[in-house]
Structure 1
Amino acid sequence: MGSEDLVCASCSGLVIEGRCPTCRASREYLRRNSPNLSPQLFLTILVIIMVLTALAVRHAS
């Protein structure tokens, strides 16, 4: 379930649509507090995992 599926308790609309002030406030809160994983960060994490895996395999041999 993503934030696109959340329904507002005030207006019964989708929060992502921002029909009422409560929706708009919730949407803004979710936007500010959602983790943003940039492509560069993702690639860096992937490379680190690959290096650690290679080191572990080399050490085990």
Structure 2
Amino acid sequence: MTLDRLVCANCAGLVTEGRCPTCRASRERLRGSGGINPAMLAALALLVLACALLLARVGG
């Protein structure tokens, strides 16, 4: 779920609007959490694929 679609349980507004203190706190927490971006995910997938190919080659 993306940040722009989250609805606050406290005020029923979008979290990105920051209508209440709960929205603002949630927005800052979600932005600060980092997460994994698509480029990092692609790099990780390539790394896993390379490791699997290497193990298949070494193993037999």
Band the TM-score falls in, shorter-chain normalisation: 0.5 to 0.7
Please state how far the C-alpha of 1:53 moved relative to its aligned partner: 1.6
Structure 1 regions of 5+ residues with no counterpart? none
String of CA shifts for 1:5-30, please: whole Å, max 9, x gaps: 32223321011221223212211111
Aligned pair in 2 of structure 1 residues 18, 52: CA closer, same or farther (>3 Å)? Answer: same
Instruction: Tell me how many residue pairs correspond in the alignment.
Output: 60
Aligned pair in 2 of structure 1 residues 41, 19: CA closer, same or farther (>3 Å)? Answer: same
Partner of 2:39: 39
Percent of aligned pairs sharing the same letter: 43
1:9 aligns to what SS in structure 2?
Answer: coil
Runs of 4+ in 1 over 4 A off after TM superposition: none
Partner of 1:59: 58
Q: TM-score, normalised by structure 1?
A: 0.61
Structure 2 regions of 5+ residues with no counterpart? none
CA RMSD of aligned residues (A): 2.6
1:21 paired to 2:21: yes
Please state how far the C-alpha of 1:32 moved relative to its aligned partner: 0.5
Q: TM-score, normalised by structure 2?
A: 0.61
